[in-house]
Amino acid sequence: MIEEGKKKLWKDYQKEIADDKYFYVRSCIRQTFFPGAETTFIKILQKELGLDLYESAHHTTCTGIAYHSDILPFETTMTVVARQFAIMTESGYTNLVPSCITSFGVYTEILETWKHFPEIEQKVRELLKKATGREFEIPQNLAHASDVIYKYRDAIKEKMKKPLINKKTGEPIRGVEHIGCHYAKMFPKKGVGGAEYPHVLSGMIESWGGQVIDYPERRQCCGFGFRQYLVQANRGYSIACSKKKFESMEPYKPDFILTNCPGCPMFLDKWQYVVSEMEGKTYGENGHGIPVLTFEELAGLVLGYDPWEIGLQVHQVSVEPLLDKMGIDYNPENKYKLYKKNNSEKPEMPNFLKCY
Amino acid sequence: MNKKDKQVIVIGGGIAGMEAASYLSAMGYIVTIVEINDKLGGHLLKWERLFPTNRLGKEVLAFLGQGVENNVKVMTNSEVTKIIKEGDFFEVTINETIKEKADAILLTTGYDLFDATRKEEYGYGIYDNVITSPDLEEMFSSGKEITMKNGKKPKKIGFVHCVGSRDIKVNNIHCSKVCCVTAVKQATEIKEKLPEAEVFCFYMDLRMYGRHFENMYKDSQEKFGVNYIRGRLSEACENADTSILVKVEDTLAGKPLKMSVDLLILLVGFEPSKGTKRIGKMLGIEFSDDGFFKTQDEHTMTNISNIEGVFLAGTCVGPRTITNTIVDARAGAAAIASYLSGYDIMNRKSK
């Protein structure tokens, strides 16, 4: 691998990321999948970096899942998104930061559509006005939440308490990154580092002391393709995608998988359990899985946040092996303290995948 | 005016420029070649053997050199920086200072090879064992063994056709015409040098239009065992041992295919050269949709530009083989000679 070649390429894919005053829009599903991720993002921006982030209770789904499943026509999606823009405008913000990669893709696609077909934008403005009485300004800057963390990765490094260094060996902790398909595969110029060798997540790992591992199936979809998982009969395709990735990354012995999409960490995490139940196969060390983190969770860990405060106990694959390598102090007793009424009660353990 | 007083400036000293200059000087014109590099010969300087005969490129270069060695003024390391048309004459400024008069100009500014790093998904410049067809030719020329970057002998080798050609994603819709047969030539040469290696060519169509091309293709399969798989690569990735994992659709078998090769060779296509773009803009020459120069008629005015007195030849007008470039250069010389002797080319009338 010629690292210089990647660096040369990254120069062509440096997007503008606003430095403050963000209108943050949450994902429909991340709060269920990884409930601590978005609150951790907000905490990092507001408390650690002292930035202005605002979110509105009036924000709704962007319709991305329905749009990509052909349930809603594009006109409807555009009008719903126009409403989000209107709420941003009414709130006095101009920099839109979606938490979700699908939303980021939907927003990007709509803004590009309007750039090339202004008459469509005009029509959507009329539809929104008719339906809600609202008007909107187009965001001056659109950046995914991972772009913002990427932008401030060195500022986070300055406050870092637990670098990505194996405490026992002193070696960098090894991470593989997995980028959501809708981040840059549709519009490579809209992603930090482009579509083929994105830098948005690998830049964080490098900055925080870790080592990024490239592996052959890095670009492969995680299996969260909407048509693959929405129809139950198609879910074999979904797990096959994830399994392909696990098999490909396994020989490199990664310490963790880093993601920036709602679906990817969900499936890369949960499918490890399913593969273990189906085939008795696990991909981490000593019967464990490979821990899967969102970028906010990783940022939270390096900043020294309590792993159970940022929701890592809801991961299917136990994160403890990574926490131990990073030298993070955690109380195992607190892991399931919110689980049921009895503090000592633990969730049922899988048959093969070793969990704590 | 006597022929001997008429001067032609040829901009670009590759195959077309050299051959046109030979014929124009043979016809008695004063000919100057202005070449930006330090040597004449263009891309041919870097090519060891040529299809379809496998003769050495330097033999053709020597032949072209003979034509220009006596009666043609050659200016190397020379860049045309300004051209002004004054009546029937051109004043051509070279390297900002030298001014030459010309009665006619022949543009033979050629092509550049497609920059394979633009097909990011193939990993050229990033993966150790992804190289281009000119890189392989350079290995052939050097006489060194064909190896992977780590010095190991490759056991499986893949050729990817149409890299930067017939590809709307990189804004090149045109076929570069020489890559298919170059793959056949290079695949055969590899099998000669490494008979144990397995060689695979991933192609869209095999455009074996030239004389003897089809024979080469047939021999490559029957005598050398080169495998041809009809399908375009979706991506290449690096394995832990630095071999290359390729994903391709085998459209004849109707199946996706994933395989690893030790060396992946990208057949890079033609693009209008920087010089073609720069000189074209400077003179106000019309360009075609594909970015190469536009001739006044695809069939009948093949060397004629939109500016009277400025003629075009070779690959600045579009991808072509060496044979066709030489033929086109001679045609360009004939067009210039007719023009300078008073023939009205567009109206086909003697003045």
Is residue B264 domain-shared with residue B140, that is, in the same domain? yes
Alpha-carbon span B333 to A241, nearest angstrom: 60
For B237, name the nearest residue in chain A, comparing CA atoms only. A216
Task: Determine how many CB atoms are found less than 10 A away from the CB of residue B298.
Answer: 10
Would you list the DSSP string of B237-285?
EE-TTS-EEEEEEETTTTEEEEEEESEEEEEE-EEE-HHHHHHHHHHT-
Residue A191 is predicted with a pLDDT of: 97
pLDDT above 80 (res A338): no
Residue A325 is predicted with a pLDDT of: 98
Question: Residue A46 is which amino acid?
Answer: Q
Which residues from chain B sit within 8 angstroms of residue A241, using beta carbons? none
CB-based contact (8 Å) between A217 and chain B?
yes
Is residue A181 domain-shared with residue A287, that is, in the same domain? yes
Alpha-carbon span A135 to A112, nearest angstrom: 19
Residue A226 is predicted with a pLDDT of: 86
- Please give the tally of structural domains in chain B: 2
Would you list the DSSP string of A259-278?
E-SSHHHHHHHHHHHHHHHH
Is residue B101 domain-shared with residue B147, that is, in the same domain? no
CB-based contact (8 Å) between A8 and chain B?
yes
Alpha-carbon span A143 to A133, nearest angstrom: 27
Which residues from chain B sit within 8 angstroms of residue A215, using beta carbons? 237, 240
pLDDT band at B205 (very low <50, low <70, confident <90, very high): very high
Is residue B239 domain-shared with residue B123, that is, in the same domain? yes
Is residue B24 domain-shared with residue B81, that is, in the same domain? yes
Is residue A193 domain-shared with residue A291, that is, in the same domain? yes
Residue A347 is predicted with a pLDDT of: 83
Which residues from chain B sit within 8 angstroms of residue A196, using beta carbons? 120-121, 235
**Do A62 and A103 meet the contact criterion of CB atoms below 8 Å apart?**
yes
**Do B21 and B68 meet the contact criterion of CB atoms below 8 Å apart?**
yes
How many degrees, rounded to 5, is the angle at CA B290 between CA B264 and CA B121? 25
pLDDT band at A343 (very low <50, low <70, confident <90, very high): low
Is residue B168 domain-shared with residue B246, that is, in the same domain? yes
**Do A55 and A31 meet the contact criterion of CB atoms below 8 Å apart?**
no
**What Cα–Cα distance (Å) separates residue B337 from each residue in B27, B69, B212, B342, B345?**
8, 20, 33, 9, 11
Residue B82 in 3-state DSSP?
strand
**Do B311 and B105 meet the contact criterion of CB atoms below 8 Å apart?**
yes
Question: Tens digit of pLDDT for each residue in A271-328?
Answer: 999 999 999 999 999 999 999 999 999 999 999 999 999 999 999 999 999 999 999 9
B256 half-sphere exposure, CB direction, 13 A CA radius: 5
What token pair was written down for B4? Answer: 């001997």
Is residue A214 domain-shared with residue A65, that is, in the same domain? no
Q: How far is A350 from chain B (nearest CA, A)?
A: 31
pLDDT band at B89 (very low <50, low <70, confident <90, very high): very high
Is residue A194 domain-shared with residue A67, that is, in the same domain? no
Which residues from chain B sit within 8 angstroms of residue A214, using beta carbons? 238
Which residues from chain B sit within 8 angstroms of residue A194, using beta carbons? 120
* Mean pLDDT, residues A187-215 taken together: 97
Q: How far is A231 from chain B (nearest CA, A)?
A: 23
Task: Determine how many CB atoms are found less than 10 A away from the CB of residue A293.
Answer: 26
Alpha-carbon span B198 to B159, nearest angstrom: 11
What token pair was written down for B43? Answer: 């891309």
Which residues from chain A sit within 8 angstroms of residue B245, using beta carbons? 216
B302 half-sphere exposure, CB direction, 13 A CA radius: 16
In the listed set B238, B269, B300, which residue is the last one of a domain according to the structure?
Answer: B269
Across the beta sheet with A95-98, what order do the strands follow? A53-54, A22-25, A95-98, A141-142
Q: Indicate yes or no: CB of B238 within 8 angstroms of CB of A5.
A: no
In the listed set B245, B269, B293, which residue is the last one of a domain according to the structure?
Answer: B269
Which residues from chain A sit within 8 angstroms of residue B120, using beta carbons? 9, 194-197
Is residue B83 domain-shared with residue B137, that is, in the same domain? no
Checking DSSP bridges between strand B80-86 and strand A211-212, what pairing results, if any? Answer: unpaired
Is residue B125 domain-shared with residue B234, that is, in the same domain? yes
Q: How far is A245 from chain B (nearest CA, A)?
A: 13
Alpha-carbon span A285 to A168, nearest angstrom: 16
Is residue B210 domain-shared with residue B321, that is, in the same domain? no
In the listed set A145, A173, A194, which residue is the last one of a domain according to the structure?
Answer: A145
Is residue A117 domain-shared with residue A206, that is, in the same domain? no
Residue A352 located in a structural domain: no
Residue A228 is predicted with a pLDDT of: 82
Is residue A228 domain-shared with residue A106, that is, in the same domain? no
The domain that contains B23 carries what CATH number? 3.50.50.60
For B239, name the nearest residue in chain A, comparing CA atoms only. A216
Alpha-carbon span A104 to A102, nearest angstrom: 5
| A77 Rama class: left (phi>0) / alpha (psi -120 to 50) / beta | alpha
Would you list the DSSP string of A196-221?
TS--HHHHHHHHTT-EE---TTTTS-
Is residue A176 domain-shared with residue A325, that is, in the same domain? yes
Q: Dihedral (C-alpha) B172, B173, B175, B179: value to the nearest 10 degrees?
A: 40
3-state helix, strand, coil in chain B (%, to 5): 30, 30, 40
In the listed set B234, B269, B304, which residue is the last one of a domain according to the structure?
Answer: B269
Would you list the DSSP string of A230-266?
SSGGGHHHHHHHHHHHHHHHGGG--SEEEE-SSHHHH
More confident residue, A22 or A348: A22
The domain that contains A240 carries what CATH number? 3.40.50.11810
Q: How far is B240 from chain A (nearest CA, A)?
A: 7
Residue A174 located in a structural domain: yes
Instruction: Kindly report the average pLDDT of chain A as a whole number.
Output: 95
Is residue A105 domain-shared with residue A171, that is, in the same domain? no
Is residue A167 domain-shared with residue A299, that is, in the same domain? yes
Residue A300 located in a structural domain: yes
CA nearest A139: which of A86, A194, A102, A190? A86
Question: Tens digit of pLDDT for each residue in A117-172?
Answer: 999 999 999 999 999 999 999 999 999 999 999 999 999 999 999 999 999 999 99
Residue B2 is predicted with a pLDDT of: 59
How many degrees, rounded to 5, is the angle at CA A146 between CA A144 and CA A148? 80
Is residue A196 domain-shared with residue A307, that is, in the same domain? yes
Q: Indicate yes or no: CB of B126 within 8 angstroms of CB of A217.
A: no
Range of the domain at B319: 3-110+273-350
Residue A183 in 3-state DSSP?
helix
How many degrees, rounded to 5, is the angle at CA B140 between CA B138 and CA B144? 100
Residue A299 located in a structural domain: yes
Which residues from chain A sit within 8 angstroms of residue B170, using beta carbons? none
pLDDT above 80 (res A345): no
- Please give the tally of structural domains in chain A: 2
Is residue A94 domain-shared with residue A225, that is, in the same domain? no
Which residues from chain B sit within 8 angstroms of residue A8, using beta carbons? 117, 125
What token pair was written down for B256? Answer: 């996706």
Residue A349 located in a structural domain: no
Residue A8 located in a structural domain: no
Q: Indicate yes or no: CB of A196 within 8 angstroms of CB of B238.
A: no
The angle, 0 to 180 degrees and rounded to 10, between the axes of the packed helices B322-340 and B15-26 is: 40
Is residue B178 domain-shared with residue B322, that is, in the same domain? no
Question: Residue A9 is which amino acid?
Answer: L
Residues 166-195 of A with CB under 8 A from B: 194-195
The domain that contains A57 carries what CATH number? 1.20.1050.140
Q: What is the 3-state secondary structure (H, E, C) of B27-72?
A: CCCEEEEECCCCCCCHHHHHCCEECCCCEEHHHHHHHHHHHHCCCE
**What Cα–Cα distance (Å) separates residue B248 from each residue in A241, B188, B233, B258, B267?**
17, 22, 4, 6, 16
Is residue B15 domain-shared with residue B58, that is, in the same domain? yes
Q: Indicate yes or no: CB of A6 within 8 angstroms of CB of B126.
A: yes
3-state helix, strand, coil in chain A (%, to 5): 50, 10, 45
Q: Indicate yes or no: CB of B235 within 8 angstroms of CB of A219.
A: yes
Alpha-carbon span B97 to B80, nearest angstrom: 10
**Do A192 and A199 meet the contact criterion of CB atoms below 8 Å apart?**
yes
Which residues from chain A sit within 8 angstroms of residue B127, using beta carbons? 1-2
Is residue B202 domain-shared with residue B280, that is, in the same domain? no
Question: Tens digit of pLDDT for each residue in B4-27?
Answer: 689 999 999 999 999 999 999 999
CB-based contact (8 Å) between A7 and chain B?
no
Residue A231 is predicted with a pLDDT of: 87
Question: Tens digit of pLDDT for each residue in A11-35?
Answer: 999 999 999 999 999 999 999 899 9
Residue B155 in 3-state DSSP?
coil
Task: Determine how many CB atoms are found less than 10 A away from the CB of residue A198.
Answer: 28
What token pair was written down for A99? Answer: 């938490």
Alpha-carbon span B193 to B319, nearest angstrom: 29
Q: What percent of chain B has pLDDT over 90?
A: 97
Residue A118 located in a structural domain: yes
Residue A339 is predicted with a pLDDT of: 67
Q: Measure CA of the first residue to CA of the last residue in chain B; give whole Å.
A: 14
Is residue A123 domain-shared with residue A163, that is, in the same domain? no
Range of the domain at A287: 150-334
Residue A5 located in a structural domain: no
Residue B135 is predicted with a pLDDT of: 97
How many degrees, rounded to 5, is the angle at CA B165 between CA B162 and CA B171? 140
Q: What ipTM does the predicted assembly reach?
A: 0.90
CB-based contact (8 Å) between A48 and chain B?
no
* Mean pLDDT, residues B76-91 taken together: 96
Among the partner-chain residues A194, A195, A216, the one whose CB lies closest to the CB of B238 is A216
CB-based contact (8 Å) between A26 and chain B?
no
In the listed set A94, A125, A145, which residue is the last one of a domain according to the structure?
Answer: A145
Strand partners, B257: B248
Among the partner-chain residues B121, B240, B242, the one whose CB lies closest to the CB of A196 is B121
pLDDT band at B3 (very low <50, low <70, confident <90, very high): low
Residue A225 is predicted with a pLDDT of: 87
Is residue B61 domain-shared with residue B187, that is, in the same domain? no
Question: Tens digit of pLDDT for each residue in B296-324?
Answer: 999 999 999 999 999 999 999 999 999 99
A-B CB pairs within 8 A amount to: 40
Q: Indicate yes or no: CB of A9 within 8 angstroms of CB of B117.
A: yes
